[in-house]
Structure 1
């Protein structure tokens, strides 16, 4: 029989949103699983059932699945989709025959057992994991939320098996990030669940220091087991920007050219309309109107004449989201017809994670649009920095993302949502894009290098080794 030291350490990863899901948290989950495999771990992921991703929320990126390490074992436990069912033919026998009783059973599960509609998936994951555990023991469980029922699943599995677990808060459960206030009233069962889960967890992980600090203040008895693992950018799906190629070209002697040709080329570059780009999921909780109005004002400046703001990504997370957002912003898929006002906004549609590098590389300026308050970071900002372009902030002052951007040499932050101040920062970013040298861009990328997934996940993997006694 092999000793524990002779085999790969085994981790059970409870990550509901995992490829082909395109939920915002999926990139952290994908990167974590891949990183652990590369570091010698045997990884089993319990993820959302495919019929839920395809048929219920319709939110998938199939090409993202190709970036998951084939050594990862993916299990998809069942989920009772009571709250998502719209077709009577899909109702269970109990719900069809006794709808009021079925409703009471569901409400009881939410108010007395676990307050989240994904809880059935967590319990199904525990059942699946127990079967796997009897065949080959897990050494540690990592649960990432949301959904936060994954934390409950890790807690129950620990009580049944004694296997230690780690809670990864890539989002906050009991703190409303958009209003900077508790998400539940005092006395709600969510507080009791969070307290007991944190008390038994070997570690809890947060995406920024602001979130860690809030939870440490509320749960001081476990503050010493809390750590920060920020999000990062994924080198395996982002092609290396052309910065170093530009540097090499800049160092090579240029062939002699006719003076008139040089003057013409310079004038052409100076007059080329700039491309601003936002890449990510647009939602109603972001200051989208302020962004659009500020860009409209900025385009009146000669530096931004005929500039475009290209919006790449999905409109919301659900099937019903796009129409409302398009109507709200007046987004168009093509330039306006003759005589109509041109706002410069262009909706370019969704982009696969495997193709986002082309969008970033072709932009002159990146627009960092974010909702929420001081506890919000956003995973996209790390990708933005990785390409070394000027970045314009469009968000409320004081959000946690500013800690990440602090030190980035091409950051333009109005520190306000006033549209005139935002427009001024857009104009300044446009000027910087026209004048930027390859050396300046490389300096910006060096700041981003500290947030590569390899850099941010290494301390996390080392912590897992300590927990299972492999340090």
Structure 2
């Protein structure tokens, strides 16, 4: 009897991390398990998530598919000398610890770049990547896993893109193919489409992507951009979009009662915050007893919460902040929402993972993004989509139009919208990755 195929999956952000790419990484690992593969995930250690980035959601551990083997590789952005006895901490560090930590991280990144210029590190000389030190231990962990049970394919998801280099090295060492999952473009600015980062970084990406057996991108615009940039491997660029998880959709959508505009996600500075909140304030006098309800974290990292808290409207302005919400409570939040709000930055390259979830609830959606944006494209054809440009006047008008639409929304509209959104299920989207990898390895 032949053994099951085995995937080595390099995913820096994996539960209990609450980083933006975690749900996609979970979905990919689940898709391979459902297809009969054994999956070993190499990820970062929990100490780093808890102590250095303050970005943990323990409830996400329950989402890890049964049978997935997790190997946690220690990592730190701190220099070895950064952890010292308390009686050895100098006056400057003791009095201005935030500034000290900032300078220490900058020095650590400079040291990493200089290290690349030493003998044996030439390929990484001048590469803009703060996670370079994760590569070697990941490669060692992958080799050990392969010695115990041979792997058939290596898949890396980025960012961080250090995982891509680790996958390339493991592919060469183990004699198996590797592929790349681009949650975001590496050396293309997601907002402008311009080339970014240093020449050594762009050269490294070119080397890796031309050796990879396949690359998966979250939308067609990004796949096309990479096909144009790397014409020799254009046929290896594929689309594997994001999607919604079925357990995030309430059994019954809210189609009556006071109008609640609901926003769920991780608030961040890339969102058009000023336009969204100023637009809400401008529209609210004409919205009666409507409320704007937000649930989620304030930033991806603990240090950003205080700054983002100051951006929120007041409760007296009809805004209600519900705090972070666990994955299992997402459906309950949406069950009380009559209009879902989706703020998204950028243009065609920026889709926003939450837009898929919003589209499937079955109620109107207010999408705040510039014309031609990726989130807008996902909602093209949605029966209840309302679009607003990222300026306060357009957003205010959008709130009013969405409220008017919600007032006449009925159960039949909910059913029709959910039927339309069926093609956006996350498991359908990532199944294309499994199919392509199985074709590569001859499964």
Normalising by the residue count of structure 2, what TM-score does the alignment of the two structures yield? Answer: 0.89
Give SS of 1:462's match: helix
CA distance in 1, matches of 2:107, 2:420: 58
Paired residues for 1:403-418 under 5 Å: 403-414=377-388, 416-418=389-391
CA distance in 2, matches of 1:314, 1:110: 36
Displacement of 1:313: 0.7
Q: Retained in 2: the 8 A contact 1:331–1:347? A: no
Give SS of 1:159's match: helix
CA distance in 1, matches of 2:43, 2:352: 22
Does residue 109 of the first structure (1) align with residue 115 of the second (2)?
yes
CA distance in 1, matches of 2:51, 2:263: 28
CA distance in 2, matches of 1:376, 1:391: 17
Residue 54 to residue 80, structure 1, CA distance change in 2 (3 Å): closer
Displacement of 1:300: 1.9
Paired residues for 1:35-434 under 5 Å: 35-82=31-78, 88-89=84-85, 105-109=111-115, 112=122, 113=124, 114-185=127-198, 188-235=199-246, 237-242=247-252, 272-301=257-286, 304-327=287-310, 329-332=311-314, 335=315, 342-414=316-388, 416-434=389-407
Displacement of 1:107: 3.1
CA distance in 1, matches of 2:79, 2:294: 32
Displacement of 1:468: 0.6
Give SS of 1:374's match: coil
CA distance in 2, matches of 1:280, 1:436: 24
Does residue 444 of the first structure (1) align with residue 390 of the second (2)?
no
Displacement of 1:240: 4.4
Match of 1:261 in 2: none
Q: Which has the larger radius of gyration?
A: 1
CA distance in 1, matches of 2:407, 2:116: 55
Residue 103 to residue 132, structure 1, CA distance change in 2 (3 Å): closer
Displacement of 1:178: 3.0
1:461 to 418, 434, 440: 434
Give SS of 2:358's match: helix
Match of 1:252 in 2: none
Displacement of 1:126: 0.9
CA distance in 1, matches of 2:405, 2:201: 48
CA distance in 2, matches of 1:110, 1:449: 48
CA distance in 1, matches of 2:359, 2:299: 24
1:396-431 CA distances to partner (integer Å, 9 max, x unpaired)?
2221122211111100013x2232222122111111
Displacement of 1:217: 0.9
Q: Retained in 2: the 8 A contact 1:180–1:374? A: no
Q: Retained in 2: the 8 A contact 1:413–1:425? A: yes
CA distance in 2, matches of 1:311, 1:412: 19
Q: Structure 1 residue runs of 4+, over 3 Å off?
A: 83-90, 99-105, 109-112
Q: Retained in 2: the 8 A contact 1:283–1:315? A: yes
Give SS of 1:126's match: helix
Give SS of 2:248's match: coil
Match of 2:11 in 1: 15
Displacement of 1:181: 1.8
> How many residues get paired?
418
Q: What are the ranges of 5 or more consecutive residues in structure 2 without an aligned counterpart? A: 87-103
Residue 88 to residue 182, structure 1, CA distance change in 2 (3 Å): farther
Displacement of 1:239: 4.6
Give SS of 1:457's match: helix
Give SS of 1:175's match: coil
Displacement of 1:101: 10
CA distance in 1, matches of 2:442, 2:135: 27
Displacement of 1:89: 4.1
Displacement of 1:110: 5.7
1:350-394 CA distances to partner (integer Å, 9 max, x unpaired)?
111121111111111111011223210011111111211100011
Displacement of 1:312: 1.0
CA distance in 2, matches of 1:101, 1:406: 46
